[in-house]
Amino acid sequence: MDEGQGASAPSATRATRRVALGISYRGTAYHGWQSQPAGVATVQGALEKALAAFAVQPVSVVCAGRTDAGVHGINQVVHLDTDLHREPFSWVRGTNTFLPPDIAVQWAMEVPMHFHARNSAEGRRYAFIVLEAPVRPALEAGQVGWVFRPLDHAAMEAAAACLIGQHDFSSFRAAQCQSPTPVKLLREIRITRCAAPRMPLAPGSPDAHMPQRSPVGAGAPRQAEPAANIYWRFDFEGQAFLHHMIRNIMGCLIAVGSGNQPPSWMQAVLDARDRDAAAPTFPPDGLYFLGPRYNEAWGLPNVTPALAWLPA
């Protein structure tokens, strides 16, 4: 992923218009955003195929930020160049006709020819949703990360604080990263505990950590319900991100939150500028590209209805 790098340039043949699109997608079934050789399913490949079917001509797009396999998009922004005149919502409905169910165009706007989906972005936003539960998720598989040990909110916030600002993030950079520099500006990490345990019992009562179900029938034994699920949301905003940077930071935050490392360890990892100093890369499940930030003068939507689906 860039988590912040772009893709191939659109064809400018006979192009007289530039159109920006907002795309939402579930990345579980795809080998990332960027087009790959025939037979490899990617979000860009599916989108360009659908656009070509609607436009009845080849269409290429530039995206605001590439995503890796399994990573989801809430408001991925792309631009394309075309000589066709279509009403904005025609691009939405027409393209969606040819897209699979897990990819959808959310909005379309004609933009000036000097707008660029990647280069005009002033920042990029991601969210990681993590389920804290004693058993792994099933219905939410692929849509949330999972930990079974309780996480320490204060410890994770203390560890994250040293990462804010402009730093050399070599310790959080994948070996295959193509960025010319490991120095990036990380503006914010916000950590939110999104849900409290269900049916809390009074402190000191028996099995206060485990809600109880009422017995059914005379003499039926009490049965313990599964422990309540807790959702954590980790929001990241930066100018741009290195390949796997967010997932590598997440691996370290989880190591601190679960008590395997002290908060001060994060500073040592950052200072080491060595990938081997950090924790293993956290799986992509639960990582969402919320979208880029543009100057308000462009008039582009910052959110889509899909954003409301995430725990907040």
Alpha-carbon separation of residue 98 from 27, 38, 54, 62 (angstroms): 17, 18, 7, 19
Q: Per the annotation, where are the binding residues for substrate?
A: 126
Catalytic residues: 68
CA dist 277 and 183 (Å) reads 17
Question: What are the CB-based long-range contacts (under 8 Å, 24+) for 266-269?
Answer: 266/159, 266/160, 266/162, 266/163, 267/162, 269/171, 269/172
Q: Which residues, in sequence order, are bridge partners of residue 63?
A: 78
CB 152 within 8 A of CB 259: yes
CA dist 302 and 280 (Å) reads 32
The span from the first CA to the last CA of the chain, in angstroms, equals 24
Nearest to 125 by CA among 250, 239, 49: 239
CA dist 71 and 61 (Å) reads 19
Nearest to 190 by CA among 223, 233, 155: 233
